[in-house]
Every structure is written in C-alpha cells, then in structure tokens.
Amino acid sequence: MPMIADQRQRERALDPACSFIVQAPAGSGKTELLVRRFLKLLSLTDKPEEVLAITFTRKAAAEMRKRVLQQIDNAGDIAHRLRIMTMDAFCASLTRQMPVLARFGAQPGIVEDARDIYREAAFRVLSSFENPAVRKLLAHLDNNLAAAAELLAVMLAKRDQWLRNAGHPPTRAELEAALLAERKRLFFKATALLPAASEDLAIEVLTKKGTWRVKHKRAQELAARPDAEALRAALEALLALPPANYDDAQWEALEAILALLLPAVVQLVFLFSEKNQVDFVQVSHAAVHALGAAGDPSELLLSLDSRISHILVDEFQDTSVSQWELLDLLTSNWNPEEGRTVFLVGDPMQSV
C-alpha cells in the first residue's frame, strides 16, 4: 500500500505530549485523526473524563462516539463516562451548573432555530421611524421593511463574530482596508495552489453551485488533480470575493446598519427574557461568564481545571469569539510541565 503523502505529519499529530492545530480540507480524514488521538489519550489517562472531545453537530458527536466505542475493549463499562459532545451541549452543561454566574437565573429553553426571534427583534428596532439610521436603511432598500429586517436578523445570528466590537464600529477606511486584505488573502490561497487562479478562471470552470463543470475540458483537468478539492474551494471563494471598496450609497446603508446593531441586540435580549428562551450564541456567552476570568476563576472553572487534561475540538471555529474565549479560559491555568494538551482540527478555507 502506498504511503500517504502527509503520513509523517499524521503520525506526529498523535504525539500525546504535544498540542497541535491540524489544518486540512474537507474529506482529508481530519476527524479520523482526531478519533485516533482521542483513543491514544484515553489509554494514557487515569479517568476517561480527563479527555474532552468537542464537535459542532450532534451527528458528528454520535459518529465520533460510535467510532471510539468500536475500538475499545471495555466499551460497555466506560461508555457513559466518555466526554464527546457538541460545543452547544458543553456550554449548556456549564450554564446548568452555574445558572447565576451564567446570568440566566432560571434555566431558559434553548431554541435551535431562532430566526423568527431575530426577525422580531429586527422589526422592533425598525419600528422607530424617527431614528435617522432606520430612515437611511429603508431609503436604501426602497422602504422594503422585510428586507431591512432580514439584514439585521442575519447579523443577529452572527453576533458572536462582531458583538464585542459593536460599541466601537469600524470606519469606512478601516472596513475597506479589511476588504482589501481579505481579497489578497483569498487570492494568495488560490494562487498558491494554481498560479493562474483568478475570478475569471473560477467563473469559467465552476458552476454557480461551486462544482466543477462536467463538460468543460479545463475544469475536468483541474478536477483530476490530487488537490482538486482544496483548489475547488479556493476558486469558489474567489467567486464570492467582497468588493475592494464601497460607493457612497453603499457606505451610507452600511453605516445605518452598524448604528442599528446594538439596539437590535438589546431587543433580542428583551425577547429572550420575555419568552424564557435563548439561542446557542447566548448560551456560549453565558458559559464564558460562568467561568469567570483567568485571574479571577469561578468555582466552576477551578473544578473543570482539576478534571480536564486534554481538549480536542473538531471543525474549530476561530471566527467565534466566545468559543475562542471559552478554550482560552479552560486552559488559562495550565502549565507546560503538566502534560496537558489541546488539539484543534479545521479547514483553513472555512474556519481556522
């Protein structure tokens, strides 16, 4: 059997004494590598609970648990002690242990699909027609209230990525500089795989759904490459390139949206309280609060610190500020000499 090109890197990633960030495209076997590392760590720890594996879907967590149980002899004895769960479930477990510190009081219900609540919060904000920002946004959208509400609702769903900076919104120059940097980053990724990569080439060889064109000779040549999936993802990213700058009308609309973000969050929090419900973003924020701070840890963080020796995260989302903060807090009191490790797995075209 021929040796996999990156076999040495895969074997190195199983070293239980070191922490790693594994970056690889979809379909490359990242999750299988994580399972192998989980099993190795499990064999070296005194208690199964010392190894925490986090995924981002219940299906992925169930599949990982199944793979692990298939490869251990005493599966029936320790199955209930394996800590393999979604990030949402882990955060929810923290808020249940410390509801006051999580700022929940009585434990609210968790809504998996909160889009209706986001829209309701957005409509509440947009009902203030005397607000100049509301008037500007509606004018840009030909007074289409539903379209304006949808824009704000989409932003509320992604608030974990921007909420901490909402009090100091970026200037036009700062945003345009960020857009330019993002364009350069995406072009660099694409041209590193294929020097001739460009937006025009992406349009030529990919369908609107981002798949290789079946009856296109050049597309099929590229699809036959060993790195075809990574290249396809890089070219697809070029199809969605942001503009290099805004025209005045676009900036005025964007400025209005920026001004409405915090009021929309306030309305969202009110709605969560009224309905005694929260979404997973709110749960992750609450979990961070429940842990305290690195210099002032809560009892919960101290308790977790004494129980967890290894953390593995599948499909790590570094765009999620609360997930980053959560991992930072969980490892804040770790010392290199203790042999505790972090193992993060992700796709550089999607998350890491």
CA atoms within 13 A on the CB side of 65: 19
pLDDT, residue 99, reads: 63
Same domain for 117 and 72? no
Same domain for 301 and 200? no
Task: Output the domain CATH number for residue 39.
Answer: 3.40.50.300
Same domain for 274 and 302? no
Q: Which structure tokens are listed for 267? A: 């309305």
**Would you say residue 80 lies in a domain?**
yes
**Would you say residue 337 lies in a domain?**
yes
Same domain for 44 and 91? yes
**Would you say residue 36 lies in a domain?**
yes
pLDDT, residue 74, reads: 77
**3-state SS class at 32:** helix
pLDDT, residue 350, reads: 59
Domain that includes residue 335, residue range: 7-108+296-346
How far is 329 from 183, CA to CA, in rounded Å?
Answer: 33
pLDDT, residue 248, reads: 93
Query: Among residues 252, 278, 304, which one ends one of the domains?
Result: 278
Same domain for 148 and 215? yes
Same domain for 121 and 188? yes
**Would you say residue 167 lies in a domain?**
yes
Cβ contact 133:262 at 8 Å? no
Residue of 90, 157, 147 lying closest to 123 (CA atoms)? 147
Same domain for 170 and 68? no
How far is 294 from 41, CA to CA, in rounded Å?
Answer: 26
Same domain for 194 and 135? yes
pLDDT, residue 197, reads: 95
pLDDT, residue 316, reads: 82
Same domain for 140 and 263? yes
Q: Calculate ∠ Cα 317-16-341, nearest 5°.
A: 45
**Would you say residue 214 lies in a domain?**
yes
| pLDDT tens sequence for the chain (352 residues) | 445 667 888 888 889 989 998 887 767 777 888 999 999 999 999 899 999 999 888 898 999 999 999 988 877 788 889 999 998 889 888 888 766 555 655 677 889 899 999 999 999 999 999 999 999 999 999 999 999 999 999 999 999 988 888 888 889 999 999 899 989 989 998 999 999 999 999 999 999 999 999 999 999 999 999 999 989 999 999 998 878 889 999 999 999 999 999 999 999 999 999 999 999 999 888 888 888 888 888 888 888 888 899 999 988 876 778 888 899 999 998 987 888 999 998 876 555 5
pLDDT, residue 1, reads: 42
Cβ contact 25:50 at 8 Å? no
pTM of the predicted model, to two decimals?
A: 0.75
Query: Among residues 245, 278, 311, which one ends one of the domains?
Result: 278
**Would you say residue 87 lies in a domain?**
yes
**Would you say residue 339 lies in a domain?**
yes
**Would you say residue 351 lies in a domain?**
no
Same domain for 119 and 186? yes
How far is 78 from 99, CA to CA, in rounded Å?
Answer: 29
Query: Among residues 224, 248, 278, which one ends one of the domains?
Result: 278
Q: How many domains does the chain have?
A: 2
Same domain for 165 and 212? yes
How far is 186 from 188, CA to CA, in rounded Å?
Answer: 5
Place of tokens 């796709």: 347
Same domain for 156 and 49? no
